[in-house]
Structure formats: C-alpha cells, structure tokens
C-alpha cells in the first residue's frame, strides 16, 4: 500500500516507517509543518499529538483516504467528526489507544477479573514527554470495568509505556501488569490494522481487540 505517515520523525513514527517499508509498503513521511500531498495514497497513519491529529485525519478522510490513528488524547468530538466524515466517504477510520497485543490482553483480563474483584485502581506509567494524562489505554481499561476505577498517572524519564491494574479483595491482591519495552511492540498491530482497513465497515472502529476476534 502507499501509506502517508504523519509523525514520521516521532518516537513511534521513526520505528514504524522502516517497519512499514520492510513489510512492503511505500511510505510518504509527513513531519511537523509539512503539507504533504494526500492524493494517490491508499491509507494514512497518524502518530502525532492531540492538537495535530484532527486536522491530519479530517483532511485525509475528506480526500477519501482510509486512516489508522494511534495518537491519544482525543475527545469524543474528534471521534464523532471522524465517524461522520468516514461514513460520508464510505471508508474506514481505525482508532486504537494501544496497538500492543499484550496491552489489549491486559485490558481483557482486567475486565474479566473485575467481575470477581470489583474494587480496582489503575497505575499507568509513561515517559515524561507524553502530553496527555491519563493515558488512552488506562481510560479504555477503566471503561471496560464496572464502577468508577481511579487512575494514577506517573510521568518519568526512562519509561516507555507501562500499566498495572490492581484488584483488591479481602486478604488478597491481584496485579495485572503490561510493560512496553520498545516501540516495536506497536508495529504488528499497525500492520494488522492496515491489512484489515478495506474490510472494516464505514466509519470509526475503535480498539485492536475488534481486529483480533
Ligand atoms: P512524539 O515522539 O512526540 O512524536 C510525535 C511526532 O509528531 C513529532 O515528531 C512531532 O513533531 C510530529 N508532529 C506534530 N504535529 C504534526 C503534524 N501536524 N503533522 C505531522 N507530524 C506532526 O510522540 P510519540 O511517542 O511518537 O507518540 C505519538 C502519539 O502516539 C502520542 O499521542 C502518543 O500518546 C501516541 N501513542 C499511541 C500508541 C498506541 O499504541 N496507540 C503507542 C505509543 C504512542 P514536533 O516534535 O516537531 O512537534
């Protein structure tokens, strides 16, 4: 596929670009301040910033280019706008707060455990240049669990992306933890999303789990 990659010089984008090429895709790299030509691309991928993603993705959807969005920190209005534009163009827009399969399994196991241990809290830990808090993964985890699940955000140098879900019961503690040790962890999920884009329904589809089942 001919892929337009927004955020190509970022921490994720700089890992993703060469991996997309290794997988046989042709990559146009879009950096901050670029105005890349959209025409002729089969798909766009965005790993930028919450204040940049909307313009990039709305422009692509208006040009009838299906999109894969990894950027976090968007609000419901962003997703509603993507959904409307994608439906109007009869194309897919896939959005995932976490493209690492281990993190998706962590969310699933946490939702399952919460049926039996309903008191839970989430600690998410990320590198100190992450601009949004709490993380999209922590919010998605909490939303899949019953009741109000407090989220604690830690931002420190040296970290990449880590999360613990702590579930307490009388005399016991269950900890479900996922660690992203390098940004290669996101690559298979993004490749899978690209592969499945043409078979997804028009509009927004959220979450890697919807591609795994
Ligand atoms: P990063 O290192 O800050 O990279 C973002 C890149 O996007 C920077 O190079 C930035 O350039 C560039 N950029 C900003 N505005 C742009 C625009 N309008 N067009 C093109 N490029 C633009 O951040 P990161 O760690 O790679 O993460 C990127 C996003 O993905 C964040 O929202 C993060 O939370 C999210 N993320 C998601 C997942 C997932 O699995 N869904 C995994 C990891 C990260 P400047 O520095 O010059 O502004």
Domain that includes residue 157, residue range: 101-181
- Say which residues have a Cβ less than 8 Å from residue 196's Cβ, sequence separation at least 6: 94, 211
Query: Could you tell me the distance, in angstroms and rounded to a whole number, from the CA of residue 191 to the centre of ligand 1?
Result: 18
Q: Whose CA is nearest to atom 16 of ligand 1?
A: 32
Do 51 and 86 fall within a single domain?
yes
Cβ of residue 94 lying under 6 Å from some atom of ligand 1? no
Do 143 and 110 fall within a single domain?
yes
- Say which residues have a Cβ less than 8 Å from residue 173's Cβ, sequence separation at least 6: 166, 167
pLDDT of residue 102: 96
Q: How far apart are CA 163 and CA 154, in angstroms?
A: 10
Do 127 and 171 fall within a single domain?
yes
Query: Could you tell me the distance, in angstroms and rounded to a whole number, from the CA of residue 180 to the centre of ligand 1?
Result: 17
Do 81 and 165 fall within a single domain?
no
Do 177 and 191 fall within a single domain?
no
Cβ of residue 61 lying under 6 Å from some atom of ligand 1? no
Do 91 and 8 fall within a single domain?
yes
Do 66 and 122 fall within a single domain?
no
pLDDT of residue 118: 84
Q: How far apart are CA 6 and CA 10, in angstroms?
A: 9
Q: Whose CA is nearest to atom 45 of ligand 1?
A: 32
Query: Could you tell me the distance, in angstroms and rounded to a whole number, from the CA of residue 7 to the centre of ligand 1?
Result: 5
The CATH number that applies at residue 173 is 3.30.360.10
Do 129 and 202 fall within a single domain?
no
pLDDT of residue 45: 98
Cβ of residue 134 lying under 6 Å from some atom of ligand 1? no
Do 112 and 89 fall within a single domain?
no
Do 68 and 91 fall within a single domain?
yes
pLDDT of residue 213: 72
What's the number of domains the chain is made of? 2
Q: How far apart are CA 45 and CA 187, in angstroms?
A: 12
User: Computed from CA positions of residues 156, 138, 16, 8, in that sequence, does the dihedral angle turn out positive or negative?
Assistant: negative
| pLDDT by residue, tens only, the chain of 213 residues | 999 999 999 999 999 999 999 999 999 999 999 999 999 999 999 999 999 999 999 999 999 999 999 999 999 999 999 999 999 999 999 999 999 999 999 999 999 999 999 899 999 999 999 989 999 999 999 999 999 999 999 999 999 999 999 999 999 999 999 999 999 999 999 999 999 999 999 999 999 999 987
Q: How far apart are CA 213 and CA 202, in angstroms?
A: 18
Q: How far apart are CA 44 and CA 29, in angstroms?
A: 10
| Residue 7 contacts residue 71 (beta carbons within 8 Å) | yes
């Amino acid at each position: 596929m001919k892929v337009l990659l927004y955020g190509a010089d970022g921490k994720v984008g700089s890992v993703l670009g060469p991996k997309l090429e290794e997988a046989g895709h042709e990559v146009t790299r879009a950096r901050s301040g670029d105005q890349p030509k959209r025409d002729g691309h089969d798909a766009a991928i965005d790993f930028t910033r919450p204040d940049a993603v909307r313009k990039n993705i709305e422009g692509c959807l208006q040009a009838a280019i299906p999109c894969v969005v990894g950027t976090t920190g968007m609000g419901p209005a962003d997703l509603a706008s993507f959904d409307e534009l994608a439906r109007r163009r009869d194309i897919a827009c896939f959005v995932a707060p976490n493209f690492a399969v281990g993190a998706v399994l962590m969310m699933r196991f946490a939702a399952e455990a919460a049926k039996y241990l309903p008191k839970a809290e989430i600690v998410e830990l990320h590198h100190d240049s992450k601009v949004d808090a709490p993380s999209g993964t922590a919010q998605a985890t909490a939303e899949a669990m019953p009741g109000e699940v407090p989220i604690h955000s830690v931002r420190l140098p040296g970290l990449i992306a880590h999360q613990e879900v702590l579930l307490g019961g009388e005399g016991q503690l269950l900890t479900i933890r996922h660690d992203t040790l390098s940004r290669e962890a996101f690559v298979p999920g993004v490749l899978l999303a690209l592969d499945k884009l043409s078979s997804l329904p028009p509009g927004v589809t959220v979450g890697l789990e919807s591609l795994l089942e």
